[in-house]
């Protein structure tokens, strides 16, 4: 019996633990951004584009870390996440204003980020509330 090769494996990602809904939305927003990045004009791609990409990755990392942090330590990560999230929205708007992102792509990203922002606010309120 032969062993399966990499090419014979399905294209499905490996099973993961249940993730928070905000992680799914942030991941979808990042993947959307990742598809837009090659179409950002070169001048902006290597400045604002790189900055936005770094912020997205840091936000995903903070959200993932916060998911597995004890409740009493979680607020610190969520506050950092919120600050980075605000910076991300600012730089995406700046990229759009500089004509590095068309209105349709900006609207798609804004919609995803708006949903994530609502979830983040709810998560922060839940942690700040007394048990």
- Tens of pLDDT along 76-131? 999 999 999 999 999 999 999 999 999 999 999 999 999 999 999 999 999 998 87
pTM: 0.85
**What tokens appear for 69 in the block?**
């942090």
Q: Which residue ranges form the domains of the chain, and what is each CATH number?
A: 19-128 (1.20.1440.60)
In contact, 109 and 36? CB cutoff 8 Å: yes
CA atoms within 13 A on the CB side of 8: 4
């Amino acid at each position: 019996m032969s062993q399966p090769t990499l090419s014979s494996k399905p294209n499905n990602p490996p099973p993961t633990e249940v993730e928070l809904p905000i992680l799914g939305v942030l991941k979808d927003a990042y993947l959307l951004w990742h598809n837009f990045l090659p179409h950002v004009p070169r001048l902006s791609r290597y400045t604002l584009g790189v900055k936005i990409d770094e912020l997205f990755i840091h936000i995903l990392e903070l959200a993932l870390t916060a998911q597995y942090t004890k409740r009493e330590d979680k607020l610190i990560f969520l506050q950092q996440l919120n600050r980075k999230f605000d910076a991300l929205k600012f730089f995406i708007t700046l990229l759009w204003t500089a004509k590095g992102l068309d209105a349709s792509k900006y609207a798609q990203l804004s919609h995803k980020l708006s949903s994530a922002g609502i979830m983040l606010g709810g998560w922060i309120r839940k942690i700040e509330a007394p048990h």
